[in-house]
């Protein structure tokens, strides 16, 4: 596949790029600052500089791709619209570029579907108070994505860690993984790339947790 990765310089984005290359995919890493990506352009990797909030700039970069994966997250813990604004730009740019497949990373914290009573009644209200700005941005992103005509999948992980890749994680379609409190970024990237190549997950949410 020819995959464009947004947020490629982030902690999850770097795993996405590395693992996608290991799988033999051709990758375009869409970045603001190429110096932050610990890889340079090769025959298999194209590093493209573009404003992810600009639909016209994105459309020019995305043309010819099979799928887009967005690992763009909220900026800090204060008010942010990075996820929402980039999703809005993507949903405008992708039809122009004739690319239909989109996978975005959100958060399990924004929903209680599938959670047990303790998580639903105690944990999630605390999380939503502490991360209210980040979660509001992700909810905005999900509204932009689900309101589009794209073949989207929203992946919702719980707390992310930087532990090494295990390949041992659980998935749940349409609801959170029960008692799934964390997952490492490397495992999340693995699940996201699997989802990008799985038409059965089109227009669904997918929870991933250890």
HEC profile of 92-150: HHHHHHCCCEEEEECCHHHCCCCCCHHHHHHHHHHHHHHCHHHHHHHHHHHHHHHCCCC
Is the pLDDT assigned to residue 39 strictly greater than 90? no
**Is pLDDT at 120 greater than 90 in this prediction?**
no
Q: What is the mean pLDDT of residues 19-48?
A: 93
Q: What local confidence, expressed as pLDDT, does residue 205 receive?
A: 98
Joined together, the tokens standing for residue 11 give 């902690």
Which of 26-40, 48-62, 93-107, 173-187 is predicted least confidently? 26-40
128 pLDDT band (50/70/90 cuts)? confident
Structural domains of the chain in order of their starting residue, each with its CATH number:
2-209 (3.40.50.720)
Let me know: does 17 contact 82? Beta carbons within 8 Å. Answer: no
Q: In angstroms, what CA-CA distances link 107 with 17, 33, 71, 141, 181? A: 20, 25, 11, 11, 11
Rounded Cα distance between 141 and 137, Å, is 6
Containing 58, the helix (H) or strand (E) segment is: helix 55-62
Q: Angle between the 132-146 and 82-97 helix axes, to the nearest 10 degrees?
A: 20
Residue percentage of the chain with pLDDT more than 90: 84
Query: Is pLDDT at 77 greater than 90 in this prediction?
Result: no
This prediction has a pTM of 0.95
Residue 172 has pLDDT above 90, yes or no: yes
Mean pLDDT of 179-206: 97
Q: What is the mean pLDDT of the chain?
A: 95
Q: What is the pLDDT of residue 75?
A: 84
Picking from 39-43, 65-69, 149-153, 182-186, which range would have the lowest pLDDT averaged per residue? 39-43
Q: Quick one: tokens of 102? A: 């989109």
DSSP letter at 50? -
Residue 197, burial from CB neighbour count under 10 angstroms (0-12, 13-18, 19+)? middle
The per-residue pLDDT for 38 is: 87
Quick one: pLDDT at residue 41? 81
The mean per-residue pLDDT over the stretch 98-124 comes to 93
Nearest-Å Rg of the Cα atoms of the chain is 16
CB atoms within 10 A of CB 7: 24
3-state secondary structure of 20: helix
């Amino acid at each position: 596949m020819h995959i464009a990765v947004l947020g490629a310089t982030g902690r999850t984005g770097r795993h996405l790029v590395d693992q996608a290359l290991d799988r033999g995919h051709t990758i375009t890493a869409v970045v603001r600052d190429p110096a932050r990506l610990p890889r340079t352009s090769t025959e298999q990797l194209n590093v493209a500089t573009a404003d992810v909030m600009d639909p016209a700039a994105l459309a020019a970069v995305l043309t010819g791709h099979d799928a887009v994966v967005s690992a763009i997250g909220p900026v800090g813990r204060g008010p942010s619209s990075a996820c929402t604004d980039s999703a809005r730009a993507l949903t405008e740019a992708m039809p122009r570029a004739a690319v239909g497949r989109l996978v975005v990373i959100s958060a399990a914290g924004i929903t209680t579907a599938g959670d047990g009573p303790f998580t639903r009644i105690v944990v999630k209200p605390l999380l939503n108070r502490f991360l209210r700005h980040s979660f509001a941005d992700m909810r905005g992103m999900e509204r932009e994505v689900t309101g589009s005509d794209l073949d989207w999948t929203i992946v919702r992980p719980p707390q992310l860690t930087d532990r090494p890749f295990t390949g041992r994680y659980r998935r749940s379609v349409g609801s959170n993984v029960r008692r799934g409190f964390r997952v490492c970024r490397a495992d999340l990237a693995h699940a996201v790339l699997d989802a990008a190549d799985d038409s059965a997950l089109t227009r669904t949410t997918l929870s991933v947790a250890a």
